[in-house]
Amino acid sequence: MNAIPQDLFFTAEHEWVRNPDGPSARIGVTEFAAAALGDVVFLSLPAPGDRVEAGGECGEIESTKSVSPLFAPVSGQVVAINEAVIDAPELVNEDPFGAGWLFEVAPVASGDLLGWQAYEELTAEGTN
């Protein structure tokens, strides 16, 4: 597994956020999550304009093993979704921190976010 990018913030639900303080927070799932999910085949993302609440369910990520809820790490209005990942869900597996991003929110508040070291500890516990 690759190193965890140090410029991102994380949630206990294995999502990442870039720029949680805005103006546009980009959100995706971590490499750890992508590996655990297996081949991602479908994404149900919130629509641009939707309001999401930090910690609330806002979509689904479907792999060949499971259907898991997506949670919003921050509160605010959805300003963009990654059309490329809708067409090619495998991007989540191939490049979870990059081209496999999911959606962007104009944040007004954020939930409990972890720094990269805290997240690294969390996943280390999870694998033991």
Can you give the binding site for another protein, defined by CB under 8 A?
Answer: 38-39, 41-42, 44, 62-67, 88-90
**Min CB(60)–another protein separation in Å:** 9
**Min CB(55)–another protein separation in Å:** 18
Q: Which is nearer to another protein, 48 or 115 (CB)?
A: 48
Q: Which is nearer to another protein, 6 or 64 (CB)?
A: 64
**Min CB(48)–another protein separation in Å:** 18
- Residue 52's DSSP bridge partners are 76
Using CA atoms in the order 41, 97, 20, 85, what is the torsion angle rounded to 10 degrees?
-30
Q: Which is nearer to another protein, 12 or 88 (CB)?
A: 88
**Min CB(42)–another protein separation in Å:** 7
* Residue 30 one-letter amino acid: T
Cα–Cα distance for residue pair 103/57, rounded to 1 Å: 14
94 three-class SS: helix
Q: Are 99 and 31 in contact (CB under 8 A)?
A: no
Q: Which is nearer to another protein, 38 or 115 (CB)?
A: 38
Q: Are 15 and 21 in contact (CB under 8 A)?
A: no
